[in-house]
């Protein structure tokens, strides 16, 4: 059981893809004791998991499988352990991705991952590399507690998630005339398509909210 007088211990999944040290630094800034994890044996005593990621969906799943981390992540997330997926890490939470074929995901959130459609222009190229507005969904915004709807966060991605259940969307963002789900929340499972670790004070606020959720003991 989590000692409410101590900082929560978070395991940052290290599978070779992601801004691990930026995430760790952001966590420590808000009082989260964050450690790098590349083996399931070291995950037994953590209070939560962060799954970061930059790169291709299929490659990420292959690396997680090779490190024997897939079953551990899904089992513990389903049992109530708080989980935050960031960028590619959020996409991995869904059933499958259409990136370079068909690749199965963790299946924790029903839905798929698809590429931005339409012709590119000077202002809205693929990938999206920019600060963009994140509009929160009032009924599902634990991650955004105290963060104003329309706050800008930093994005870097070519694919986005399409959840089956609209109610899991914690925020939406517009790009290339598409309003897409840019953050998710389902019970103890959270996700952010943007990079909070690269989004300044508002990103740190999001990590603080994740910490507050863990310490609330709601899971």
Within 10 angstroms of residue 97's Cβ, the number of other Cβ atoms is: 25
CA distances from 96 to 61, 104, 158, 167 (A): 10, 4, 15, 19
Q: Record the tokens describing residue 129, joined without a space.
A: 């590399």
Q: Record the tokens describing residue 39, joined without a space.
A: 């083996």
List residues bridging with 96 in a β-sheet: 104, 112
Q: Are 173 and 131 contacting, i.e. CB atoms less than 8 angstroms apart?
A: no
Helix extents (H) in 70-129: 70-78, 88-91
Q: Record the tokens describing residue 10, joined without a space.
A: 């978070």
Active site positions, annotated = 87, 195, 197
């Amino acid at each position: 059981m989590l000692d409410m007088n101590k900082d929560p211990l978070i395991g940052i999944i290290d599978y070779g893809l992601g801004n691990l040290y930026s995430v760790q630094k952001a966590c420590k800034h808000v009082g989260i004791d964050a450690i790098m994890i590349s083996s399931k044996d070291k995950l037994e005593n953590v209070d939560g998991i962060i799954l970061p990621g930059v790169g291709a969906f299929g490659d990420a799943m292959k690396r997680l499988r090779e490190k024997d981390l897939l079953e551990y992540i899904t089992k513990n997330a389903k049992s109530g352990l708080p989980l935050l997926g960031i960028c590619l890490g959020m996409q991995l939470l869904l059933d499958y991705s259409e990136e370079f074929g068909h690749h199965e995901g963790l299946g924790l959130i029903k839905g798929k991952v698809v590429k931005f459609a339409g012709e590119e222009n000077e202002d809205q190229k693929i990938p999206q590399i920019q600060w963009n507005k994140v509009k929160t969904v009032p009924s599902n915004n634990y991650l955004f507690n105290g963060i104003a709807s329309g706050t800008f966060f930093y994005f870097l991605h070519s694919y986005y998630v399409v959840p089956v259940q609209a109610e899991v969307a914690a925020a939406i963002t517009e790009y290339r005339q598409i309003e897409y789900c840019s953050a998710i929340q389902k019970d103890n499972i959270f996700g952010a398509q943007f990079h909070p670790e690269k989004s300044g004070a508002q990103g740190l606020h999001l990590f603080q909210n994740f910490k507050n959720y863990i310490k609330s003991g709601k899971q």
